[in-house]
Amino acid sequence: MLIIVAPGQGAQTPGFLRPWLEDPQFAERLNWLGAVAGLDLAHYGTDADAETIRDTAIAQPLLVASGLVAALSLFPHPSDAFGRIGAVAGHSVGELTAAAGARAISAEQAMVLVRERGNAMAHAAAATPTGMTAVLGGDEAAVMAALTQHGLTAANVNAAGQVVAAGTLEQLAALAADPPAKARLMPLSVAGAFHTEHMQPAVGALARLAPAVSTHDPRAVVISNADGQAIHDGREAVRRIVQQVARPVRWDLCMGTMRDLGVTGVLEMPPAGTLTGIVKRALPGVETFALKTPDQLDAARDFVDKHGAPSPIDIHPTWRMLVAPTKGTFVRSAGEEGERLRPASSVGLVRSTRDETAVMAPYGGTIVEWLVEDGDLVSPGQPLVRVHPEGVAV
pLDDT in tens, 103-161: 999 999 999 999 999 999 999 999 999 999 999 999 999 999 999 999 999 999 999 89
pLDDT in the model for residue 200: 96
The reply to whether 120 and 130 lie within a common domain is no
Of 40-54, 224-238, 263-277, 317-331, where does mean pLDDT reach its minimum? 317-331
Looking at the predicted structure, is the pLDDT value of residue 391 above 70? no
Residue 33 domain-assigned (yes or no): yes
- Are residues 179 and 220 located together in one domain of the fold? no
351 vs 325, 356, 380, CA distance in Å?
A: 11, 4, 12
Q: Kindly report the CATH number assigned to the domain that includes residue 205.
A: 3.40.366.10
In a domain, 315, yes or no: no
pTM of the full structure: 0.86
298-304 LR contacts (CB < 8 Å, sep 24+): 300/74, 300/267, 301/74, 303/2, 303/265, 303/267, 304/2, 304/74, 304/84, 304/267
Residues 354, 206 share a domain: no
pLDDT of residue 314: 55
Q: Stretch 198-224: mean pLDDT, rounded?
A: 94
Q: Which of 66, 91, 150, 195 is catalytic?
A: 195
Q: What is the rounded CA–CA span in Å between residue 388 and residue 394?
A: 10
Whether the per-residue pLDDT at 380 is higher than 60: the answer is: yes
Mean pLDDT of the chain: 92
Residue 266 has pLDDT above 80, yes or no: yes
Tell me the percentage of the chain whose pLDDT exceeds 70.
96
Check if 189 is active-site: no
Q: How much is the pLDDT for 313?
A: 63
Which region holds residue 151: left if phi is over 0, alpha if psi is between -120 and 50, else beta? Answer: left
- Domain annotation covers residue 44: yes
- Considering the domain boundaries, does residue 58 fall inside one? yes
Domain boundary among 140, 158, 187: 187
Q: What is the pLDDT of residue 354?
A: 85
Q: Is the dihedral of CA 269, 125, 109, 20 positive or negative?
A: negative
Single out the catalytic residue among 66, 92, 224, 311: 92
pLDDT at 170 over 50: yes
Within a domain: 119: yes
Q: If we measure between CA atoms, which residue out of 255, 308, 253 comes closest to residue 281? A: 255
Residue 88 contacts residue 223 (beta carbons within 8 Å): yes
* Residue 315 confidence (pLDDT) above 60: no
pLDDT band at 392 (very low <50, low <70, confident <90, very high): very low
Would the pLDDT of 394 be above 50? Answer: no
Q: What is the CATH number of the domain that holds 173?
A: 3.30.70.250
Number of H helices, E strands in the chain: 14, 18
Stretch 210-215: mean pLDDT: 93
Same domain, 359 and 332: yes
349 and 331 in a common domain: yes
Answer yes or no: do 175 and 104 share one domain. no
Q: Is 195 a catalytic residue?
A: yes
Q: Tell me: do 118 and 132 sit in the same domain.
A: no
Same domain, 217 and 76: yes
| CATH number, position 358 | 2.40.50.100
- Residue 129: per-residue pLDDT: 93
Let me know if residue 313 belongs to a domain: no
The answer on 270 and 218 residing in a single domain is: yes
DSSP codes, 98-124: HHHHTTSS-HHHHHHHHHHHHHHHHHH
- 23-32, 121-130, 140-149, 305-314: range with lowest mean pLDDT: 305-314
Do 286 and 225 reside in the same domain of the chain? yes
Instruction: Give bridge partners of residue 321 from the DSSP assignment.
Output: 386
Residue 393 included in any domain: no
Q: What is the pLDDT, as a whole number, of residue 320?
A: 81
Could you give the 3-state DSSP secondary structure of residue 14? coil
Give the rounded distance of the alpha carbon of 285 from its chain centre.
22
The domain in which residue 44 lies consists of 2-124+197-307
What is the predicted pLDDT for the residue at 69?
Answer: 97
Q: Are residues 102 and 213 in the same domain?
A: yes
Average pLDDT for 158-165:
94
pLDDT digits (tens, 9 = 90+) for 76-102: 877 778 778 999 999 999 999 999 999
Indicate if 138 and 111 belong to the same structural domain. no
Residue where a domain stops, chosen among 307, 335, 362 = 307
Overall domain count for the chain:
3
Last residue of a domain, one of 277, 307, 337: 307
Is residue 310 pLDDT above 90, yes or no? Answer: no
Q: Is 205 inside any structural domain?
A: yes
